[in-house]
Amino acid sequence: MDLRLDRLATLYLALPLTRRASGREFSFPILMYHSVSEEDESRSHAYFRTCTSRALFAEQMSHLHSHGYSACNLAQALDDLGSGRPLATKPVVITFDDGYTDFYRQAFPVLRQYGFSATVFLPTAYIGERPLQFKGRDCLTWAEVRELSEHGIVFGSHTVNHPQLHELRAAEIKEEIVSSKRTIEDRIGSAVDSFAYPFAFPQNDAAFQSMLRDLLRTAGYRNGVCTIVGRGSRHSDPFFLERLPVNSWDDARLFEAKLAGAYDWIATPQRLVKMAKSRAIHLW
Ligand SMILES: [Zn+2]
């Protein structure tokens, strides 16, 4: 069994402190799912796993429902944040990266049961008339995307080819974000407002972030998410909102602690590790 130091620190150190500080400032959780499937990921450390079993996903949605959360899209959550008025319900944004077809078969029926919407980020080169594979898993087809869109599921861009954008030239980045947006809009017949950065976000490179933010804004995006751990707040960049990663390892207590903000501390070691890695690259 994995030693989950992040779980222990979250439940026994961060959670009591978060409870004491709660109510001071409004923030909202954006959950980051990838695949809803029973895949065995025991070879990778729990922190890096991306599959959530259907049974656990159903439990998590039931928890959100019974605790008064209402699932909304990013624009609605940001409007709430900007309005400063007290909220009638607790907003949560449920996101899925990579456009896997198990969203259609496993996640959507559960979401529907609770009347929850979700936002699915598509790497458009992997969405076809027939199922195409990304990282060894089948992706949604355009027919499924259209059907889901008609039932209130929101679609965002996850680029065309899912590249490491940080390694591309500005013209290539622009192509990835403009073309994927246009393709999805043509297929579903409505505007695409949201973008999800593929892979780990280069959070220590301010010049890159500024360039990407300008490109996203010019392309017509209104908001976006990335892999920085945390919850959305008035300190967040609306184009690079923090998220809470979820997978099969998230038992009820850890899931609840993440929603409460007790997992936000992970952002600090996450930033330090990235900084150390980029320094090592520059040195060698
Ligand atoms: Zn991805």
More confident residue, 41 or 114: 114
pLDDT for residue 133 is more than 80: yes
pLDDT for residue 283 is more than 60: no
Look at residue 148 in the predicted model and tell me its pLDDT: 98
State whether the Cα torsion 197-194-105-131 is positive or negative.
Answer: negative
Residue 88 Cα to ligand 1 midpoint, Å, equals 33
Residue 279 Cα to ligand 1 midpoint, Å, equals 25
Confidence of residue 21 (pLDDT cuts 50, 70, 90): low
Residue 31 Cα to ligand 1 midpoint, Å, equals 14
| pTM flag (> 0.85) | yes
More confident residue, 181 or 25: 181
Q: Rounded CA gap, 268 and 276, in Å?
A: 12
Q: Measure the CA dihedral 113/119/122/128, to 10°.
A: 40
Look at residue 267 in the predicted model and tell me its pLDDT: 85
Residue 97 Cα to ligand 1 midpoint, Å, equals 5
Phi-psi region of 51 (alpha: psi -120 to 50; beta: other; left: phi over 0): beta
Residues in CB range of 251: below 8 A, 6 or more apart: none
Residue 200 Cα to ligand 1 midpoint, Å, equals 9
The predicted model gives 12-18 an average pLDDT of: 77
The predicted model gives 158-168 an average pLDDT of: 97
Identify any residues that bridge with 122 across adjacent strands, giving them in sequence order.
Answer: 157
Q: Any idea which of 10-19, 30-39, 120-129 has the lowest mean pLDDT?
A: 10-19
Give per-residue burial for 156-188: e unless 16+ CB within 10 Å, then b: bbbbbbbbebeeeeeeebbebbbbbbebbeebb
Residue 158 Cα to ligand 1 midpoint, Å, equals 7
Ion ligand 1 neighbours, Cβ < 5 Å:
97-98, 198
Q: What is the pLDDT of residues 67-79, one digit of tens each?
A: 999 999 999 999 9
Q: Rounded CA gap, 205 and 32, in Å?
A: 23
Q: Report the number of secondary-structure helices (H) and strands (E) in the chain.
A: 11, 12
Per the prediction, the chain carries an average pLDDT of 91
Look at residue 1 in the predicted model and tell me its pLDDT: 47
Alpha-carbon 276 to chain mean position: 24
| Half-sphere exposure at residue 93, Cβ-oriented, CA atoms within 13 angstroms | 35
Look at residue 107 in the predicted model and tell me its pLDDT: 98
Confidence of residue 89 (pLDDT cuts 50, 70, 90): confident
Residue 25 Cα to ligand 1 midpoint, Å, equals 30
Look at residue 2 in the predicted model and tell me its pLDDT: 58
